[in-house]
Amino acid sequence: MITYDPRDKSWDTWCGLMAELFSAQQLGTVPEERWKDWADGMQGIGYFVNSGVPDSRMFDNWRPWAEQLVGIMTIRKHK
C-alpha cells in the first residue's frame, strides 16, 4: 500500500493527498483542529478496520500519529 510521508508536509497538504489517495473510501478533508475526527473516521472505514490504524487518543498531535500510520501501511504492503 502506498501512502504519503507526513514529515515534510503541512496537515492540509498531507490530509488532501491522503483523501485523494483513498478517494474510494470517501475520507475527505478536515481542518487541522479536527484531525482526531478524521483519524477516527479512518479507523471505521472497512478498508482500514483490520489494518491497525493507530488510536488518535494516544497522540497530542497529528504528525506522530501519521508517522505511525505510514509505518503500519508500509508493513502491511510487504505482507
Q: Is residue 37 part of a domain?
A: yes
* Cell representation of residue 41: 473516521
Q: Is residue 1 part of a domain?
A: no
pLDDT (mean) for 47-74? 84
Q: What is the Cα 51 distance to its own chain's centre?
A: 11
pTM of the model: 0.81
pLDDT at position 2 over 70: no
Q: Is residue 2 part of a domain?
A: no
Counted domains in the chain: 1
| Mean per-residue pLDDT of the chain | 85
- 67 within 8 A of 46, measured Cβ to Cβ: no
Q: Is residue 6 part of a domain?
A: no
